[in-house]
Amino acid sequence: MAKKRKSKYAGTIPTDHQNQHLTWALIAILACSLIASASTVFICQYVLDAFQSTNACAMLLTDSGIVSDDKNLEGNLSVATQGLHMAKDFGLALVIGVVGVGLAVFVRVRRQKAS
């Protein structure tokens, strides 16, 4: 039976310097996530607004949806609209989550500076 090797870092507490690097890495990841999710929401909303514009398509836009003489095109646009709504909602949820994690990191940084 082989002995378990202990990691040389097992049981060690990270130094303040290492914690600071990890905190900055987390802040960078949060910033990238926030930019990506916010741009997804913006782009999806822009496309959805373009679908509602009467100058965007040569089709009838009604309260019940898009009406065209080509049923395949009408169905594809309806599915694309639903997909954009889902992507926008997902991006918005991601924005809210990233802001929450960002606030938690901010609180942690403030507590570290206070100690």
Entry pTM: 0.54
- Helix (H/G/I), strand (E/B), else coil: 66: strand
pLDDT tens digits for 27-79?
Answer: 888 888 888 888 888 888 877 776 665 554 556 667 776 666 666 666 667 77
Closest CA to 44 of 86, 97, 93: 86
Residue 40: Cβ within 10 Å count = 17
> What residue segments make up the domains of the chain, in order of their start?
25-114
- State pLDDT tens for residues 76-102: 677 777 878 888 888 888 888 888 888
Q: In angstroms, rounded to a whole number, what is the distance separating the alpha carbons of residues 85 and 70? A: 23
